[in-house]
Amino acid sequence: MITNIPGYPRIGSQRELKKACESYWTGKISLERLELTARQLRKENWTFLQAAGIDLIPSNDFSYYDQILDMCVTLGIIPARFQALRATFANPNCPELYFALARGYQKNNFDITALEMTKWFDTNYHYMVPEFEAAQEYQLYQPKCVAEFKEALSLGITTKPVLPGPVTLMLCGKIKDAELSYPQLLEKLLPVYIQLLEALQQAGANWVQLDEPFLVTDLDPAVSDLYHRAYSAIRQALPQLNVLLTTYFGGLEDNTVLALQLPVKALHIDLVRAPEQLDTILPILPEDKWLSLGVVDGRNIWKNDYAQSLALIEKAVNKIGTERLLLGTSCSLLHVPYNLDLETALDPGIRQWMAFAQQKVAEVMDLKQIAAGDLSPLADNQSAMISRKTSAAIHIPAVKARMADIRNVDMQRHSIFPHRQVLQQSVLQLPLFPTTTIGSFPQTTEIRQLRADLKKGVITEETYQADIRQAITETIYRQESLGLDVLVHGEFERNDMVEYFGEQLDGFVFTQNGWVQSYGSRCVKPPIIFGDVQRPAPMTVAWSRYAQSLTTKPVKGMLTGPITILQWSFVRNDQPRMQTAFQLALAIRDEVKDLEDAGITIIQVDEPALREGLPLRQAQRAAYLVEAVKAFRLAVSTVDDATQIHTHMCYAEFNDIIEHIAAMDADVITIETSRSQMELLEAFAHFSYPNETGPGVYDIHSPRVPTVAEMEGLLDKAAQLLPVRNIWVNPDCGLKTRKWPETEQALLNMVVAARNMRSKK
Ligand code: GLN
Ligand code: ZN
């Protein structure tokens, strides 16, 4: 049995690559220094994997920014807007161009926008979206995958280069010119792809991994032809090359036959997300095809259950023997942190249930050993599994009892919206076009310093509390003098909208070094939900009560919703995700109730990640949305009719999910719309969305101050689409990344725009 790792983290266990890239961008280090760091990181990975005994060691899984962007530069998929800039460089594929594609270029009289960035399937990793134009000529230029293969070879390590497959590369990009069709594009790309594979083979590569995760999604029938065409051409040109067609993040389902027909040496499947596909594939696996079993989870941080994996491996061995079998992780380990050994502060009782990238590699080796008959690693693994199943830290009877007791009425407000709207208006007495913000106000260096000082013990809890109160006080007065109608406390006490709550809930732990690349040099350290969730004490009530005590205007209570907390954490895998979401919902529900009891009349529960949780397959989406909406409703439906529930969502497309958004039944939803010129609102209008809506009137991602006229223009548009009494006026999202001067000016203009709208009515 051959062991196979589809990809390894690259940012560095101490985020060395992040730091080196950022220093290079600001001119603090030279290109040579950056390259040295990169070479060291690659060497560390390769030598580690070699020492561990892995057979198929990935190369070209390294990237300065993103592996899809690497491929664009390798093949010359470069938008026309970069051509003039490119012509100024002696080396047409120099890092300057590469980073310009990634980050935009505003220097030397150029002002070029970066490639778009979007989420890689259902992960929190963002890739750069290729732009295919009809006039592009593709051509290889100093391909990085060949260089990295040779670099490893010079260290005595023969690696398996990893590349995005041709069809996935096309489908994850955008065709910019209507006259360019996919078949035409493929015909243009294939010769360079083949040239690239030839170069790899010539350099000594026996195996090449081509990633085709689109095979686990719903495919248009025409895409099958693209797959056949691409892989037949590759086979024809390179009959000796062992192509490892790699799928992950789900099951092949209706694409199984297609995947098995493609003329490649081996197929990799994800048996963590879709273990059942093994039963479909084994009986019809062609006799000459090898199968790579992805049994160790590349998407989560839990220890592998060897007994479970072994059952899968044995099934495969019994059917096709060991000769044609590969064994590895379900997908690239890019999505998990480096090394659990660095987590010295984690409770050892909880740590023993986990495995990060390094440990997962060892698991693959263990499984190979066990499958070969040496059962010695089994006992330890089994005792860890048993300790997890029976742990009192994980399984809290009170939480389970409460979960069993959830009734439909708990997910329903007392009255229907029109009735609530009247009651709320009589309490709140808001004008037409009421103005508000999304929650956070500028996180200045002083504010960040305060939180850091508290953590380090430089200041006392009392000093910290007093200083945050001071910031809240100033912010409330600023909002009052700006003339805003519904105020917020500013979220100064929060480092992050998920971590802040996780730290106060039972069932969460946090790592010191559990960094995962999100995009480019940006890394996140997701909280880990290990056990039953409950809220031991109020989390936000004191701050909200204090803020409300300063003003007669309503101050919104501000919470993060259950789906967003779920989506941005590593989630336990010993119960269905939605069960964890419902536990989170119960905890938020307790907080909502306490806020209401403290006299807070408006409570906002943010769900920006609701859409991110959508399953890859259409057939599973409605079920997810129904459950996600229930979780939200469970969190908020405890309040009286007169208490107004808000929610907020950003980065969203709403067309295909509007009925579910409506089913959330929030009294008010604020959404990001300004960059799309209110186009996103059309879904709401078309659906006759019944509740109140705050379409964002300005983009908070840039310091630019919007004019009164442009915001009024957007509100005019909104007023044509929605009933006037249902429209709120607010920015697109929270203001934490902005500075105060532009924030005040923008909000002042926003308030004037709202007043102008009122006087028109
Ligand atoms: N209330 C949060 C804030 O204003 C919402 C952030 C978000 O939508 N991502 O920062
Ligand atoms: Zn937002």
ipTM over 0.85: yes
Q: Which atom of ligand 1 is nearest to the CA of 438?
A: 4
738 touches 703 (CB < 8 A):
yes
Q: Which ligand has an atom closest to residue 495 CA?
A: 1
The verdict on whether residue 672 carries a ligand-binding annotation is yes
CA angle 488, 490, 492 (to 5 degrees): 155
Q: What is the pLDDT of residue 598?
A: 98
In whole angstroms, give the CA distance from residue 88 to residue 83: 9
Does residue 185 belong to any structural domain of this protein?
A: yes
Helix axes 182-203, 221-237, angle to 10 degrees: 30
User: Active-site residue 686, yes or no?
Assistant: no
Residue 622 has pLDDT above 80, yes or no: yes
Same domain? For 110 and 131 the reply is no
> φ and ψ at 729, to 5 degrees?
-120, 120
The residue count of the chain comes to 761
571 touches 455 (CB < 8 A):
no
526 touches 569 (CB < 8 A):
yes
Q: What is the pLDDT of residue 484?
A: 98
The residue contributing the CA closest to ligand 1 atom 5 is: 734
Average pLDDT over every residue of 151-156: 98
Average pLDDT over every residue of 380-394: 97
Does residue 161 belong to any structural domain of this protein?
A: yes
Partners of 58 in the beta sheet? 160
Q: What is the pLDDT of residue 676?
A: 83
Q: What is the pLDDT of residue 623?
A: 98
In whole angstroms, give the CA distance from residue 740 to residue 491: 15
Q: What is the pLDDT of residue 389?
A: 96
For residue range 221-244, list pLDDT tens digits in order.
999 999 999 999 999 999 999 999
Q: Which ligand has an atom closest to residue 605 CA?
A: 1
CA of 169 to the centre of ligand 2 (A): 30
The residue contributing the CA closest to ligand 1 atom 1 is: 439
Which of 352, 428, 336 is CA-nearest to residue 123?
A: 336
CA of 714 to the centre of ligand 1 (A): 22
Residue 677 has pLDDT above 90, yes or no: no
Across 57-125, where does the E strand assignment appear?
58-59, 117-119
DSSP, collapsed to helix, strand or coil, labels residue 626 as: helix
- How far is CA 298 from its chain centroid? 15
CA of 654 to the centre of ligand 2 (A): 14
The residue contributing the CA closest to ligand 1 atom 10 is: 734
Instruction: State the Cα torsion 231-236-242-248 to the nearest 10°.
Output: 0
Same domain? For 227 and 239 the reply is yes
Residue 761 has pLDDT above 90, yes or no: no
Same domain? For 213 and 97 the reply is no
CA of 608 to the centre of ligand 2 (A): 6
Q: Which ligand has an atom closest to residue 735 CA?
A: 1
Q: What is the pLDDT of residue 22?
A: 96
Same domain? For 88 and 150 the reply is no
Residue ending a domain, choose from 57, 90, 114: 114
The verdict on whether residue 254 carries a ligand-binding annotation is no
704 touches 739 (CB < 8 A):
no
Partners of 559 in the beta sheet? 605
Q: Which atom of ligand 1 is nearest to the CA of 604?
A: 1
Q: Tokens 């497959």 correspond to what residue?
A: 165
The verdict on whether residue 439 carries a ligand-binding annotation is yes
> φ and ψ at 219, to 5 degrees?
-110, 140
For residue range 416-440, list pLDDT tens digits in order.
999 999 999 999 999 999 999 999 9
Instruction: Report the run of H or E that residue 174 belongs to, with start and end.
Output: strand 174-175
Pocket test for ligand 1, best of 124, 436, 438, 475 (most atoms within 8 A of CB): 438
Q: Quickly state the pLDDT bin for 212 (edges 50, 70, 90).
A: very high
Does residue 650 belong to any structural domain of this protein?
A: no
CA of 670 to the centre of ligand 2 (A): 8
DSSP, collapsed to helix, strand or coil, labels residue 570 as: strand
Query: Hey, what are 557's tokens?
Result: 């209570």
Query: Hey, what are 537's tokens?
Result: 């004490």
CB neighbours of residue 434 within 10 Å: 20
Q: Which atom of ligand 1 is nearest to the CA of 558?
A: 1
Average pLDDT over every residue of 616-630: 98
Query: Hey, what are 311's tokens?
Result: 């059952």
Q: Which ligand has an atom closest to residue 736 CA?
A: 1
Residue 701 has pLDDT above 90, yes or no: no
CA of 102 to the centre of ligand 1 (A): 25
570 touches 528 (CB < 8 A):
yes
Instruction: State the Cα torsion 627-631-637-643 to the nearest 10°.
Output: -120
711 Cβ contact partners less than 8 Å away, ≥ 6 residues apart: 697, 698, 729, 749, 750, 753
Residue 538 has pLDDT above 80, yes or no: yes
In whole angstroms, give the CA distance from residue 636 to residue 626: 16
Pocket test for ligand 1, best of 492, 497, 524, 698 (most atoms within 8 A of CB): 497
Query: Hey, what are 546's tokens?
Result: 């204090």
Q: Which ligand has an atom closest to residue 609 CA?
A: 1
- In order of 340, 343, 455, 743, the CA distances from 347 in angstroms are 12, 9, 19, 42
Pocket test for ligand 1, best of 437, 440, 443, 498 (most atoms within 8 A of CB): 440
The residue contributing the CA closest to ligand 1 atom 3 is: 734
Does residue 276 belong to any structural domain of this protein?
A: yes
Does residue 120 belong to any structural domain of this protein?
A: yes
Same domain? For 34 and 84 the reply is no
The verdict on whether residue 438 carries a ligand-binding annotation is yes
Beta strands 668-671 and 692-695, pairing class: parallel
Q: Which ligand has an atom closest to residue 540 CA?
A: 1
In whole angstroms, give the CA distance from residue 57 to residue 13: 18
CA of 652 to the centre of ligand 2 (A): 9
Q: Which atom of ligand 1 is nearest to the CA of 564?
A: 9
The residue contributing the CA closest to ligand 1 atom 4 is: 734
535 Cβ contact partners less than 8 Å away, ≥ 6 residues apart: 504, 505, 506, 587, 588, 590, 591
Question: What's the whole-model pTM score?
Answer: 0.96
Same domain? For 119 and 105 the reply is no
Residue ending a domain, choose from 114, 138, 159: 114
CA angle 702, 707, 710 (to 5 degrees): 100
Q: What is the pLDDT of residue 49?
A: 98
The verdict on whether residue 523 carries a ligand-binding annotation is yes
Same domain? For 194 and 98 the reply is no
Q: Which atom of ligand 1 is nearest to the CA of 649?
A: 8
> φ and ψ at 492, to 5 degrees?
-70, -25
CA of 669 to the centre of ligand 1 (A): 13
Ligand 1 interacting residues, C-beta cut-off 6 A: 438-440, 491, 497, 558, 606, 608, 648, 650, 733-734, 736
In whole angstroms, give the CA distance from residue 571 to residue 575: 9
The verdict on whether residue 228 carries a ligand-binding annotation is no
The verdict on whether residue 440 carries a ligand-binding annotation is yes
Beta strands 242-246 and 207-211, pairing class: parallel
Instruction: State the Cα torsion 529-531-532-535 to the nearest 10°.
Output: -60
Does residue 190 belong to any structural domain of this protein?
A: yes
Which of 399, 400, 360, 401 is CA-nearest to residue 381?
A: 360
Same domain? For 91 and 166 the reply is no
Does residue 573 belong to any structural domain of this protein?
A: no
Q: Name the residue type at position 461.
A: E
For residue range 345-355, list pLDDT tens digits in order.
999 999 999 99
What is the sign of the dihedral through the CA atoms of 327, 330, 334 and 339? negative
The verdict on whether residue 7 carries a ligand-binding annotation is no
Residue 654 has pLDDT above 90, yes or no: no
368 touches 325 (CB < 8 A):
no
Q: Would you list the DSSP string of 479-548?
A: HHHHT-SSB--B-TT-S-TTHHHHTTSEEEE--SS--EEEETTEEE---EEEEEEE-SS-SSHHHHHHHH
CA of 441 to the centre of ligand 1 (A): 10
Q: Quickly state the pLDDT bin for 324 (edges 50, 70, 90).
A: very high
Q: Quickly state the pLDDT bin for 500 (edges 50, 70, 90).
A: very high
Alpha-helical segments (H) within 568-724: 577-597, 621-636, 658-664, 681-686, 708-721
How many domains does the chain fold into? 2
For residue range 27-68, list pLDDT tens digits in order.
999 999 999 999 999 999 999 999 999 999 999 999 999 999
Same domain? For 365 and 308 the reply is yes
Q: Which atom of ligand 1 is nearest to the CA of 439?
A: 4
Residue 652 has pLDDT above 80, yes or no: no
Q: Quickly state the pLDDT bin for 106 (edges 50, 70, 90).
A: confident
CA of 98 to the centre of ligand 2 (A): 29
Q: Which atom of ligand 1 is nearest to the CA of 440?
A: 4
Same domain? For 126 and 219 the reply is yes
Pocket test for ligand 1, best of 479, 487, 491 (most atoms within 8 A of CB): 491
The verdict on whether residue 273 carries a ligand-binding annotation is no
In whole angstroms, give the CA distance from residue 118 to residue 132: 16
Same domain? For 73 and 101 the reply is no
The residue contributing the CA closest to ligand 1 atom 6 is: 734
Pocket test for ligand 1, best of 489, 733, 736 (most atoms within 8 A of CB): 733
The residue contributing the CA closest to ligand 1 atom 9 is: 608
CA angle 327, 330, 331 (to 5 degrees): 115
In whole angstroms, give the CA distance from residue 232 to residue 462: 70
The verdict on whether residue 650 carries a ligand-binding annotation is yes
- Which residues form the domain of 102? 80-114
Q: What is the pLDDT of residue 91?
A: 81
Q: Which atom of ligand 1 is nearest to the CA of 437?
A: 4
Q: Quickly state the pLDDT bin for 474 (edges 50, 70, 90).
A: very high
CATH of the domain at 220: 3.20.20.210
In whole angstroms, give the CA distance from residue 227 to residue 186: 10
The verdict on whether residue 119 carries a ligand-binding annotation is yes
Residue 608 has pLDDT above 90, yes or no: yes
Does residue 538 belong to any structural domain of this protein?
A: no
Instruction: State the Cα torsion 521-527-530-534 to the nearest 10°.
Output: -160
Same domain? For 170 and 232 the reply is yes
CA of 753 to the centre of ligand 2 (A): 21
Please state, rounded to an integer, the average pLDDT across all residues of the chain: 97
Residue ending a domain, choose from 69, 90, 114: 114
Which of the residues 414, 419, 686, 701 is marked catalytic? Answer: 701
